[in-house]
Amino acid sequence: MVEFPACSGRPAGRRGLCTGWLFDLVIPGLVFPEKAESSSSLPLPKIHVSLRPNCSFRPPSDPSVPFIMIGPGTGVAPFIGFLQQRYDL
């Protein structure tokens, strides 16, 4: 789970939105793993995911062109991929 600790600019710590939500779904099995395995009343949570391509969310094709990366609320994984792609060129 992603956690952001409290600091001078943020007096209260917070959790990552998605990882916090997923953590809350599975916490009974994590806290009491022997209970989760033996109990038929605790089914594993199912999460439905919809994937869709986005042809416009990509870096410039010219690697010499600088670009600014602003978080769209989906995490940093796309940006890490963009940087790795530039590094490999």
Q: What per-residue confidence (pLDDT) applies to 29?
A: 60
Summary count for the chain: helices (H), strands (E)? 3, 2
For residues 35, 47, 19, 86, the Cα torsion angle rounded to the nearest 10 degrees is 140
Q: Report, as ranges of residue numbers, the positions in the chain whose pLDDT lies below 50.
A: none
Q: Which pLDDT belongs to residue 15? A: 85
Residues 6+ apart with CB under 8 A from 27: none
pLDDT value at position 17?
82
Task: Name the phi and psi angles at 84, rounded to 5.
Answer: -65, -40
Domain ranges for the chain, please list them: 1-49, 57-89
Q: Both ends of the chain: CA-CA distance in Å?
A: 33
Q: pTM for this structure?
A: 0.44
